[in-house]
């Protein structure tokens, strides 16, 4: 319960519900309570294992970076000196500022590219469309020999922005 309370007070109350959480299979995160909480909140829990950073690499990359920073900071001297702490703080602040600036620039760049190239689908009843065969499990033959799309089918109803109902048979 301590972990759940800490998670609520420090993460959810200040940042909102995360989309992904990377965990190292700790029992605190694999219990039935946590599993149900993640399902209810719509959060994906990604488990990593030792020496296999295939989850998405974020946790391991952050750990390696922090280890490197701490190793460099501690290697200068075994004695604690205020000016070293101040230098470390200044270096850390500069690195964080640079990272935030780069992230903001990347977001703006990606937003501009999206707005330049993205076109909203203009589906209307009566239009003819191709239907993807990705979710058709009943098709026979080897996958690589199947058509990616079938059709043309007539749209009979708009369900959402990207979803339509089509007339499959005459």
Domain coordinates in residue numbering, the chain:
1-75, 78-117, 128-167
pLDDT band at 103 (very low <50, low <70, confident <90, very high): very high
Q: In angstroms, rounded to a whole number, what is the distance separating the alpha carbons of residues 125 and 153?
A: 11
- What is the model's pLDDT at position 35? 73
Identify the CATH homologous superfamily for domain 1-75: Ribonuclease H-like superfamily/Ribonuclease H (3.30.420.10)
Helices vs. strands in the chain: H and E counts, helices first: 6, 5
The three-state secondary structure class of 147 is coil
Pairing outcome for strands 20-23 and 44-47: parallel
Q: In angstroms, rounded to a whole number, what is the distance separating the alpha carbons of residues 9 and 91?
A: 29
pLDDT band at 100 (very low <50, low <70, confident <90, very high): very high
DSSP designation for 142: -
In the predicted model, is pLDDT for residue 49 greater than 90?
A: no
Look at 48 and 117; give whichever has higher pLDDT. Answer: 117
Instruction: Tell me the pLDDT of the chain averaged across its residues.
Output: 76
Pairing outcome for strands 44-47 and 164-167: unpaired
pTM of the model: 0.32
Look at 6 and 113; give whichever has higher pLDDT. Answer: 113
């Amino acid at each position: 319960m301590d972990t759940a309370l800490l998670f609520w007070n420090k993460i959810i109350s200040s940042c909102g519900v995360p989309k992904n959480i990377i965990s190292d299979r700790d029992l605190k995160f694999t219990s039935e309570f946590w599993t149900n909480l993640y399902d209810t909140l719509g959060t994906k829990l990604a488990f990593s294992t030792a020496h296999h950073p295939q989850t998405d690499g974020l946790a391991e990359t952050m750990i390696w970076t922090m280890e490197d920073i701490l190793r460099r900071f501690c290697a200068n001297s075994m004695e604690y000196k205020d000016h070293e702490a101040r230098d470390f703080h200044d270096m850390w602040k500069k690195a964080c500022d640079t990272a935030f600036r780069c992230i903001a620039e990347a977001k703006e760049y990606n937003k501009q590219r999206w707005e330049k190239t993205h076109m909203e689908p203009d589906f209307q009843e009566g239009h003819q469309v191709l239907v993807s065969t990705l979710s058709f499990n009943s098709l026979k033959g080897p996958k690589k020999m199947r058509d990616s799309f079938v059709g043309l089918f007539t749209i009979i109803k708009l369900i959402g922005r990207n979803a339509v109902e089509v007339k499959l048979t005459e």
